[in-house]
Amino acid sequence: MSYRVRVATVYLLGFFIDLITMFICNVAYPAIARRFDAPVDQLAWISNGYIIGLTLVIPASSVLAQRLGAKRLFLLSLLLFISATAGAGLANSLPALIVWRVLQGLGGGLLIPVGQTLAYSLYPPHQRARLSAIVMLVGLLAPALSPTLGGIIADSLGWRWVFFASLPLAVVTLILAAVWLRGETSPAIRKTFDYPGLLLSSAGLLALLLGLTRLANNDQRLSGALLLFFGLGLIVCYVRFSLRTPHPLLNLHLLSQPLFRTAMLIYQWVPGVFTGVSLLAMLFLQNQLGMTATQVGELMLPWAMGAFIAISFSGKMFNRLGPRPLFIGGCLINGIGMASLALVSSGDEGALLIAGFAIMGFGSSLCSSTAQSAAFLDFTPTQLADASALWNINRQLSFCLGVTMMSVIFSMFITFTANVPIQAFHDSFLVAAFSAGVPVALCLRLPNRAIVAKIHQQRT
């Protein structure tokens, strides 16, 4: 096995662990809600806490890898992740669970950017689309298998074991990383650490998420709006500060690349919103239609089949068709799948549910796989570390904002529909479906012919 295959394997394992940790607990939310008597907006922080931890630490990935070495940083992250995962499974209150999830995110947040930088730097640009397809094929196993496995575990062993499930794979990854990754010497010239940038970006993100969460509660909407505007102000200050700093925490100048910028926006609108829809669907199917956690988890299997077909198709056709037609088709198909959930009113409509999840799997994965292939097409190896940090912050934020947005929308519809949950769920699914058309306008401006010509030039 060549060294670049070993590095790619370690990276894929870290990617798989991250997605398992994010998705496996969704089917356990009803059980956690009963145990801690928690509403939907508080349950969202089980996911948000993990993603906050990820987002706080990812910006520092480039500098930390330079100072500590990629191998040492990867191993330290895995050790923290393993410890925090055990703590999450043993938590005796919802606040304690959320704190452990934040620590989980801090531990797991560097697995993907560090591994991604190492792996992509070993492949030339024209081969990165194929590597991206493999990444997405491995990645689809996590959201496909996690709910099914999580449902079985939650029904048979209890919700705590849903968190313990990722421990064995994390230990295996720790051993492989220790054996396979090469140690690196620290460079003579080190980038200075941007402490003001870290403070501004972290405070802005926390204020934004707190504001969005408070907007979901009728008696906290004023404070939520104030926090939201405060967070936006901090983010604006950070952007202005970062663009003037010689060695910023995040190299925002990379966002001037149209293809990279569009791929990031696509990730916000498609996989991000689907994550929020998935959370609502888990609650809707279990609490309103009486389905078990295992039955709901099994619906991710047709999602995985649709995703597999989409990722295989995009891996073969990306270099030939370019990103624009794949993006547009994926957005529209994903919207149709989410709209189909609004037609479900009983647990007996299994065929409609299977079709809906399969369509969502195809549409959302066509977009995410194409975005992964397109994002790093224009970058040189020296730019990959900074681009990877930006990409993974955006990816994690897409999941977090998607969950928060759909939770807020559902809470608003509960009020508007006179506390009729089924109608509120249906209306929320329809809003999500219509939002899938927003990225289509972004894709129309992509210079698709120029991108295809550049791909062919790189191959020759």
The reply to whether 156 and 218 lie within a common domain is: no
Domain count, the chain: 2
The answer to whether residue 311 is domain-embedded is: yes
pLDDT for 185: 54
Out of 205, 223, 248, pick the residue that ends a domain. Answer: 248
Out of 232, 248, 264, pick the residue that ends a domain. Answer: 248
The answer to whether residue 110 is domain-embedded is: yes
The answer to whether residue 188 is domain-embedded is: no
- DSSP designation for 227: H
The reply to whether 387 and 339 lie within a common domain is: yes
pLDDT for 333: 95
The reply to whether 204 and 226 lie within a common domain is: yes
Q: What is the CATH number of the domain that holds 296?
A: 1.20.1250.20
The reply to whether 253 and 240 lie within a common domain is: no
The reply to whether 29 and 135 lie within a common domain is: yes
The reply to whether 214 and 163 lie within a common domain is: no
pLDDT for 45: 79
The answer to whether residue 33 is domain-embedded is: yes
Out of 224, 248, 272, pick the residue that ends a domain. Answer: 248
pLDDT for 84: 95
The reply to whether 217 and 314 lie within a common domain is: no
Tokens linked to 354: 């299977």
* Secondary structure percentages of the chain, helix, strand, coil, to 5: 85, 0, 15
pLDDT for 188: 47
The reply to whether 140 and 230 lie within a common domain is: no
The reply to whether 126 and 228 lie within a common domain is: no
Give the angle subtended at the CA of 70 by the CAs of 68 and 72, to the nearest 5°: 60
CA distances from 389 to 47, 62, 65, 223, 258 (A): 20, 7, 11, 32, 17
The reply to whether 121 and 268 lie within a common domain is: yes
Tokens linked to 56: 């706080």
pLDDT for 91: 92
The reply to whether 227 and 280 lie within a common domain is: no
pLDDT in tens, the chain (460 residues): 788 889 989 988 988 888 888 778 877 888 888 888 887 667 777 877 887 787 778 777 877 887 888 889 999 999 999 999 999 999 999 999 999 999 998 988 888 888 888 888 887 766 766 777 777 777 767 766 777 788 888 888 888 998 998 899 999 999 999 999 987 655 545 566 777 887 888 788 778 767 766 765 667 778 888 988 998 899 899 889 888 888 787 888 888 888 898 999 998 888 888 888 988 898 899 888 888 877 887 887 898 889 889 988 887 888 889 999 999 999 999 999 999 999 998 767 788 999 999 999 999 989 988 998 888 887 877 787 788 888 877 877 787 678 778 888 888 888 777 767 888 999 999 999 998 888 888 888 888 888 888 777 766 6
Distance CA(109)–CA(18), nearest Å, equals 8
Comparing CA positions, the residue from 335, 334, 354, 353 lying closest to residue 344 is 353
pLDDT for 121: 80
- Collect all residues with Cβ–Cβ distance below 8 Å to 35 and sequence separation of at least 6: 159
The reply to whether 231 and 268 lie within a common domain is: no
Strand segments (E) across 305-396? none
The answer to whether residue 133 is domain-embedded is: yes
pLDDT for 357: 94
The answer to whether residue 189 is domain-embedded is: no
The answer to whether residue 231 is domain-embedded is: yes
> Residue 290: which domain range?
3-182+249-459
